[in-house]
Amino acid sequence: MPKNLLFQFDTDPDPSTFDTIVGHDGGADQVYPYGGVSPQTLGQLVEGCIFTRSPKEKQHTAIFVGGSQLAAGEALLAAIQQKFFASFRVSVMLDSNGSNTTAAAGVAFLARHGSLQGKRAVVLAGTGPVGQRAAAMLAGEGAEVSITSRQMARARAAADAIASRFGCTITAVEAFDNCARAQALQEAQLVFAAGAAGVNLLHEEDWRDNPSLQALTDANATPMLGIAGIDMTDRGVERHGKIVYGAIGFGALKLILHRSCIGRLFERNDLVLDAQEIYAIAKESVGEFT
């Protein structure tokens, strides 16, 4: 049988070592990391992937798109797909900065506690890759979603980008500091904290005494944690009467999901794994956790 070859196209100059390792762990026999890949430099890389193997063997070649910038990753995914035609295609997955797998794991755990339809959800610091995807997935579950940023212009730009990609409405909120972010949680039931590594977004008292909040998830595993008062290993435990998830607690599903998605890329040659597809797999996989 041909070897499973994963071509890792990263939009940053240095390809992510995390993505290389998970590529191997997910089932690739060999991972080829490329940095600084853009739609302009993509041509021969994709042609090499689609023209080399016979139709029956093409499923053993796949592409992974990563990098720190979600918009750049989305542009690369679109450019890759434009190169495909007829059966000259291979399966491809987008996960810039772990955006899809991290958001999918976090939201799938929240959805396990009951329908999110009509719930008010706030994605704190939701302008990054993980926050944007979490907002889209929460909206896909029927939640009314807001994203905060320290700057209104950034919140609006991210909300517009999510709306244009997923056709949902996201409310932009400016919240410069912890006090303003606590204010943004009035009347909210759900919080997904998606701030940069090591940045605290909420003090414990900012959420502890909020009567409307039902569940909180923090994606940041690097001290200072994004939400003080949540342990990074928390997985669906109750604190102050609310269900909470820490980054390592729900991150176990993120890793399982990332590996599972890589494995699926080699099952056929026409799979495209982006937000909706990865979220659907997360909802299947979350049942493995008690």
Cα gap 246→182, rounded to integer Å: 18
241: left (phi over 0), alpha (psi -120 to 50) or beta: left
Stretch that binds ligand NAP, among 21-29, 71-79, 214-222, 237-245 (CB under 6 A): 214-222
Dump the DSSP string for 108-169: HHHHTTS--TT-EEEEETTTSHHHHHHHHHHHHTT-EEEEEESSHHHHHHHHHHHHHHH---
Closest to ligand NAP by CB, 196 or 237: 196
What would the x/- binding string for ligand NAP be over residues 148 to 187, using CB under 6 A?
A: -xxx--x---------------------------------
Is there binding between residue 197 and ligand NAP (CB under 6 A)? yes
Q: State the CB neighbour count (10 A cutoff) for residue 183.
A: 13
The binder of ligand NAP chosen from 28, 122, 184, 194 (CB under 6 A): 194
Least separation in angstroms between CB 149 and ligand NAP: 3
* One residue of 66, 98, 140, 229 binding ligand NAP per CB under 6 A: 98
221 binds ligand NAP (CB under 6 A): yes
What is d(CA 260, CA 277) in angstroms, rounded to the nearest whole number?
12
- Tokens 């993505």 map to which residue? 19
Query: The dihedral of CA 233, 234, 239, 244: what is its sign?
Result: positive
First to last CA, the chain: 37
Q: Based on the number of CB atoms within 10 Å of its own CB, is 35 exposed (0-12), middle (13-18) or buried (19 or more)?
A: middle
β-strand pairing of 30-34 with 5-10: parallel
**Does position 189 bind ligand NAP by CB under 6 A?**
no
- Reference 187, options 212, 204, 209; nearest CA is 212
Closest approach of Cβ 41 to ligand NAP, in Å?
23
The pairing of strands 242-245 and 120-124 is unpaired
Q: Mapping DSSP to helix (H, G, I), strand (E, B) and coil, where does residue 195 land?
A: coil
Nearer to ligand NAP among residue 20 and residue 59 (C-beta):
20
Residue 199 is a binding residue for ligand NAP (CB under 6 A): yes
260 binds ligand NAP (CB under 6 A): no
Residues 129-148 that bind ligand NAP (CB under 6 A): 129-131
- For position 89 contacting ligand NAP by CB under 6 A, the verdict is no
Stretch in the footprint of ligand NAP (CB under 6 A) among 71-79, 213-221, 264-272, 276-284: 213-221
One of 196, 228, 237, 272 touching ligand NAP (CB under 6 A): 196
Query: Is 22 a residue that touches ligand NAP (CB under 6 A)?
Result: no
- 249: helix, coil or strand? helix
Determine the residue with CB nearest ligand NAP.
Answer: 128
- Interface with ligand NAP (CB under 6 A), residue from 8, 59, 127, 269: 127
Please pick, from the candidates 110, 122, 247, 271, the single residue that binds ligand NAP as defined by CB under 6 A.
247
Residues found near ligand NAP in the complex (CB under 6 A):
97-98, 102, 125, 127-131, 149-151, 154, 194-197, 199, 219-222, 247, 251, 254
